[in-house]
Amino acid sequence: MALAVEIRDLGKRFGAFRAVDGISFDVAEGEIFGFLGANGAGKSTTIRMLCGLLRPTSGSARVLGIDVAKEPEEVKRRIGYMSQRFSLYEDLSVRQNLRFFGGVYGLRGAALAAREAWAVEMSGLAGKEDLLTGSLPGGWKQRLALACAVLHQPRIVFLDEPTSGVDPLSRRRFWRLIDAMSAEGVTVFVTTHYLEEAEHCHRLALIHAGRLSALGTVAGVKAVFRDHAVLEVAAPRIVEALETLARQPFVRDVSAFGTRLHVVVDDAAAGVSRVVAVLEAAGNGPATAERIVPSLEDVFIHHVQHEESRRREPAAGP
């Protein structure tokens, strides 16, 4: 299987700050690859290096076989990129935006006209070509931005938080477009912090503090919970409950989810009764606990916490 992206020990330092700290992974052609992480985790820095916008300070990255540090211009020619702000000209019409981005990628004449027609069809903007882009609803702008990003038919497209600020219905429609592109063999490299969206991806990478903390298929990443159970716990004083449970040896992980706690234990049935008992003994009752199917967010928090404790331990050890 050909590789669309190959990253080896890729790093980017800004002064003393390591924004990306030696990450390595591959993305296969035609894959929808989700790149997850909190704001400031190194997501955008990585994607900017892959697009030839930032020069790596260590390691290497190849996109479609081209070294991003050596031939950034060649990379730019071959990829599509859509930023989280959609980056359309709001004071231009739909058609004028398409013509501009087509022209910037060297399209003209009949080729441009054909791609323009395709883009209007694909984004569902037929009959609205002469509307000002600024007057379109968010979901339409988003589809137009995607159309602009792939006008020149790149083999890979980078989407930097493409669904931020868009209603759920438009988001679903957007993901259908992504699936269709992937089916045609286009590689989609997408960052998001909507964890439910990550379920659309074939494979995921979690980045935390500049390092990769998990990599694999959605099922594989979730499999860390194969031998564990996640319990949703409710108690009157939730912060106090979190502190109480964090001290228990049988509790592997505990984190707050809104007004509830998610608690990771080895055995579901025994866990439920012990959690309730501990909380009520501490005078924090009535408490309830029930087993839930772990979400990606649970997985994410689990990985991040393990990454943090792994980093602390070597410093504390001999």
Partner 1 sequence: MTKLRAVAVKELRQIRRDPLSLLMLLGLPAFMLVLYGFALNFDVRHVDLAVQDHDHTARSRELVAAFVRSTYFDLAATPAPGADLEDLTARGIARAVLVIPGGYGEELARGRPAEVQLLLDGADANTATTVLGYAGAVVAEANAEALRRTLMRAGGGEAVTGISYRPLVWYNPELSSTRFLVPGLMGVLLMLTAVLATALSIVREKERGTIEQLRVAPLRTVELILGKTLPYLAVSFLAAAIILLAARALFGVEVRGSYLALLAATLLYLLGALGLGILISTLADSQSVAFQGGLLVSLLPAVLLSGFIFQIRAMPAFLQLVTYAVPARYYLVILRGVIIKGSGLGPYPEEVAGLALFAVATLGLATLRLVREEA
DSSP states of 275-314: HHHHHHHTT--S-EEEEEPPPHHHHHHHHHHHHHHHHHHH
Member of 7, 107, 230, 301 binding partner 1 (CB under 8 A): 107
Member of 9, 14, 91, 168 binding partner 1 (CB under 8 A): 91
Cβ count within 10 A of residue 183: 9
Q: For the CB of residue 79, give the shortest distance to partner 1 in the complex, in Å.
A: 8
* Contacts to partner 1 from residues 35-64, by CB under 8 A: 51-55
Is there binding between residue 262 and partner 1 (CB under 8 A)? Answer: no
Q: Which is nearer to partner 1, 100 or 194 (CB)?
A: 100
Distance, C-alpha 167 to centroid of its chain: 18
Q: How far apart are CA 251 and CA 101, in angstroms?
A: 54
Pairing, β 79-82 against β 187-192: unpaired
Q: Which is nearer to partner 1, 56 or 271 (CB)?
A: 56
Q: How far apart are CA 215 and CA 204, in angstroms?
A: 6
Is there binding between residue 100 and partner 1 (CB under 8 A)? Answer: yes
Member of 61, 88, 144, 150 binding partner 1 (CB under 8 A): 88
Is there binding between residue 268 and partner 1 (CB under 8 A)? Answer: no
Cβ count within 10 A of residue 103: 12
Q: How far apart are CA 43 and CA 274, in angstroms?
A: 39
Is there binding between residue 313 and partner 1 (CB under 8 A)? Answer: no
Q: For the CB of residue 187, give the shortest distance to partner 1 in the complex, in Å.
A: 16
Is there binding between residue 310 and partner 1 (CB under 8 A)? Answer: no
Q: Is 36 left (phi over 0), alpha (psi -120 to 50) or beta?
A: beta
Contacts of 109 (CB under 8 A, 6+ apart): none
Member of 104, 239, 246, 281 binding partner 1 (CB under 8 A): 104
Helices (H), 150-229: 168-183, 195-198, 218-222
Q: In what order do the strands lie in the sheet with 203-208?
A: 79-82, 156-160, 187-192, 32-36, 203-208, 211-217
- State the number of CA atoms in the 13 A half-sphere of 235 facing the CB: 28
Member of 40, 65, 85, 113 binding partner 1 (CB under 8 A): 85
Is there binding between residue 79 and partner 1 (CB under 8 A)? Answer: yes
Binding pattern for the stretch 168-207 against partner 1, x by CB under 8 A and - elsewhere: ----------------------------------------
Is there binding between residue 153 and partner 1 (CB under 8 A)? Answer: no
Is there binding between residue 101 and partner 1 (CB under 8 A)? Answer: yes
Q: For the CB of residue 21, give the shortest distance to partner 1 in the complex, in Å.
A: 20
Is there binding between residue 70 and partner 1 (CB under 8 A)? Answer: no
Is there binding between residue 65 and partner 1 (CB under 8 A)? Answer: no
Please give the residue ranges that form the binding site for partner 1 (CB under 8 A): 51-55, 73, 76-77, 79, 81, 83, 85-92, 96, 99-108, 148
